[in-house]
Chain A
Amino acid sequence: MNKQNKKSKWQHFVDWVNGEEAIGMPKKISFKKIDFEKLQEDFEKYIWSGRKKAIFYMVMCVFVCLTFIGILLHTVTALPYFGGSNNPASNEVVQRYIENGVEETGATNIVAGMILDYRAFDTFGESNVLFLAVICVIMLLKKDKYNTTEQEQREEKEDEMFEKEDSNTILKRIANLLAPLLFLFGIYVVLNGHISPGGGFSGGAIIGAGFVLYASVNGQQKMQRFFTYKIFVRINVICLLTYCILKGYSFFTGANHLPNIIPKGTAGALLSGGLILPLNICVGMIVACTIYGFYALFTKGEI
């Protein structure tokens, strides 16, 4: 008896790990349009008929992957040696990045100088990927008539009631202490991106984590007082636009050999590095908003 009980708990655990089931809650989903039971039956029939095919597919996959690993391992043996100082990759490109980087970009962090000045077009594309991802998640998860059911709305109201009654004083106190520290640290990392390790992405992620902590402890209502969907979209768009315009200006002057009026500053000072500091600030704000946006959209479907 005991054993059986244990096994079923194990089964629950396995299901939970697989994401099939939430803790302490049996799977219960309502369907609007489709006849679920019939589909389930059809699916089981399909699985039984496709058994042989599935096994064949699995064997093929394992075979392909093992061959793939084998080929890659063989490739690795023929590659330049690990840690060697005269690899093909250490060529004149790297030399200029390191030796003239500080002078040409004004940033003492050579990686920051590289990604935001020498190869800035890639980084612009990368910020756009992030922006796109956020817009996609909004398209998918922001509540509309396709992705919400009445039951969910009811449950959410109950949740909100519950949140109000619930007072985890210790948790709230500590989180409220911790969140400002996180913000400060994040801002420090963003602002010093060009003179020390860090930059817009890492700093933005830290600030975003601060937002997530604050929102998860105090409830999203409190967050919505100063951070609504409109503000979220505006911050994202304005920062990316600034990025686009600044970089567009810099590309245009660079390619056409026009004089660039942006001063480089003295290397190592906070206000240095030409466009790198404002770009880092823009990126930091985008990333912070994005991280919080992901959290809010995934949990509630609202910002």
Chain B
Amino acid sequence: MESVNYIHNIPFISIFLTMFGGIITPLLSKGKLAQKINFIIVCIVGILSAVLLVSVWKNEQSFTFMMGHFPAPWGNELRAGPLEALMALTFSFVMANTLLGGAKFVQKDILPEKQNLYFVMINLLFGSMLALIYTNDIFTAYVFLEINTIASCAIIMAKGTGESIAATLHYLIICLLGSGLFLIGISLLYSITGHLLMPNIQQSIIQLTKTGEYAFPFAVVIGMIIIGISIKSAVFPFHFMLASAHPAATPPSSSILSGLVLKSFIILNIKMFYCVFTIDLIRSLRITNVLFLFGLIGMVVGSVSALKETRIKHMLAYSSAAQIGYIYMGLGLGNHAGMVAACFHILAHAATKAMLFICAGGLMSVSQGSDSIHDLRGAAHRNLMAGIGFTVGGLSMVGVPLTAGFVSKLYFASATIYSPQKMVITLLTLAVSMILNAMYFIPSAIAIWTPVEKKEEYTKPSRKMEIGIGIFIVTNFFLGICYKPIIDMIELGIRLL
């Protein structure tokens, strides 16, 4: 009998642990207890992912894990390498920190009898994101995509106000459009290749492209799957759903949604590129050019819309759309360096935007809940930590050196060397977008630090929120200064995909 390799069990254990936590939560009648259990589970998953990351990075290998008694083409499979482990670690880190910093908002915004249900959603959402990261089977990806959709809609509507429910509906319709396209895409793909597991599909795709059979259906399938996933990750023409969803949701929901949920779809997209369709095929069909174009437009349009906003959460929502544009631009460059930069930006944006939303919530709660930037004047003096966090986050979004945002922009710019025909336009758009970012982040940062005379009544910010924001700030500087090992991990991960 072989000995059990516990490291290889980590993806499976992480997914099942979070699912288990989600299932058991409705029995707990108190929201606070549910919150504690959820927090502990996320922390355990984070530690496990760190162990996994260290192991796969040292051994420079990726492995597949058989879900059940049957090997690859027959049973389901999970797959883990450095990229997956790094993403799982980041996701659990950001998740834990958001829940720590946003605990007060959940208790305030959601009815007490329904708080435990909110944590069911958070747990299952986290489980589904882990499954999307680790899966090696497209149908599993579809099922967990739907779990992700429902759970993310549920955390938007958890506030229960009319506005939040209307926003949820908008979000749901667009998400369902995306998953409908994805579903018909995988059905077509199954009918051509006869497989549902990614490595097997890839083999038969390589064979079929050699013989030239089914060329047209392949193009349609690839288009539909990529477009479906891109719609769900709020790429340019579909970014409007964010603008209504984020302001209406409670701050930790916005953080999770913008920082993690959208990123999990992008990671699925990257997996599709490398593990299913092969990057050469994607490049030869010019899918990357389409993504590149929409990424560029998204960067500019998102920033311009953010510039027009006078309300802080709307501004952050549009800024998210612009940052998603950055990531798609990186994917669209179509070379290895662009992909690495995009992956790094996923990490940087996950850490930064989650912090920004929590800080915005913190600033709003000391300004009578108003979200207009005018009313937020002087809020940073009332809630110091949130003010510092917002400023650091803003500087990182703009791309000031020593922050995480600077490193990703640096790598985006240097990645253009490998695609000379896209170089000029990329650099130009990067510059324009940086200026636009500065144009809306700096005035709002100045506004929150402007001292005001009048004394308003407000409650002191909680200690937990300050700790959460503090950890986020440290992370941001860490990513901005010690980025080299992380870039190495991402490069290794993409090579092993």
Give me the interface of A with B, judged by CB distance under 8 Å. Answer: 33-34, 71-72, 74-75, 78-80, 87-94, 96-97, 104, 117-122, 124-126, 128-129, 131-133, 135-136, 138-140, 142, 144-147, 233-234, 236-237, 240-241, 244, 248, 250-258, 260
Contacts and interface: CB of A to CB of B under 8 A. Distances in A.
Contact of A91 (B27, B117, B194): B194
B300 to A, nearest CB: 22
B160 A144 contact: yes
B216 A255 contact: no
Given A79-B191, A97-B74, A132-B150, 6 more contacts: A88-B191, A120-B76, A128-B147, A133-B150, A244-B19, A251-B67
B157 A140 contact: yes
A89 B194 contact: yes
Contacts of B2: 256-257
Contact of B131 (A125, A135, A146, A248): A125
Contacts of A250: 68-69
B15 to A, nearest CB: 9
Interface stretch (B136-144, B244-252, B364-372): B136-144
B75 interface: yes
Nearest to A143: B113
B121 A75 contact: no
Contact of A237 (B26, B68, B76): B26
B5 interface: yes
B194 A93 contact: yes
Contact of A146 (B70, B144, B161, B184): B161
Interface of B: 1-2, 4-5, 8-9, 12, 16, 19-20, 22-24, 26-27, 65-70, 73-76, 111, 113-114, 117-118, 120-121, 124, 128, 131, 137, 139-140, 143-144, 146-147, 150-151, 153-154, 157-158, 160-162, 165, 184, 188, 190-196, 204, 214, 216-217, 220
Closest 6 CB pairs between A and B? A254-B69, A125-B143, A121-B76, A89-B194, A88-B194, A146-B160
A244 B22 CA distance: 11
Contacts of A79: 188, 191-192, 214, 217
B117 A138 contact: yes
19 contacts: A34-B162, A88-B191, A117-B68, A119-B75, A122-B139, A132-B147, A135-B117, A139-B117, A139-B154, A139-B157, A140-B157, A142-B114, A144-B111, A144-B113, A237-B23, A248-B20, A254-B69, A254-B70, A257-B1
Given A78-B217, A139-B154, A132 B191 contact: no
Given A132-B154, A133-B150, A92 B73 contact: yes
A255 B143 contact: no
B23 A126 contact: no
A124 B214 CA distance: 33
B191 A80 contact: yes
